[in-house]
Amino acid sequence: MDQSKNAKAMRMLKTAKGQTEAAIKMIENDKYCIDISNQVMASIALLKKANTMILKNHMETCVKSAAMSKDEEEIDEKFKEIENIITYLNKNL
């Protein structure tokens, strides 16, 4: 993964971790349910954004590299990985 994109994704994931930990503390401290839900949704949004960035980078690097290598087995493997991700995402909409 490109280092700058890697660093950006890492920051997003760490921020989402902090938001999740904050939501846990909110539950422990019996905070208002809607406030907790908003905190959880903010974490989910960041996780989705980080995942999108990671998958886009995968397409731009790993999949592109496989396609340029002309290694049919590697190309098939990368396409299968993407198919599996799409299937998983469609099941969980």
User: How many Cβ atoms are within 10 Å of 63's Cβ, its own excluded?
Assistant: 19
Q: What is the extent of the structural domain holding 57?
A: 3-91
Which two structure tokens, joined as six digits, stand for 87? 């299937």
Tens of pLDDT along 32-72?
999 999 999 999 999 999 999 999 999 999 999 999 998 99
Number of domains present in the structure of the chain: 1
Q: What is the CATH number of the domain that holds 80?
A: 1.20.58.1000
Cβ-based neighbours of 68, under 8 Å, separated by 6 or more: none
Q: Classify residue 93 by burial, with Cβ atoms within 10 Å: 0-12, 13-18, 19+.
A: exposed
The whole-model pTM stands at 0.82
Query: Rounded to an integer, what distance in angstroms lies between the CA atom of residue 58 and that of residue 64?
Result: 8
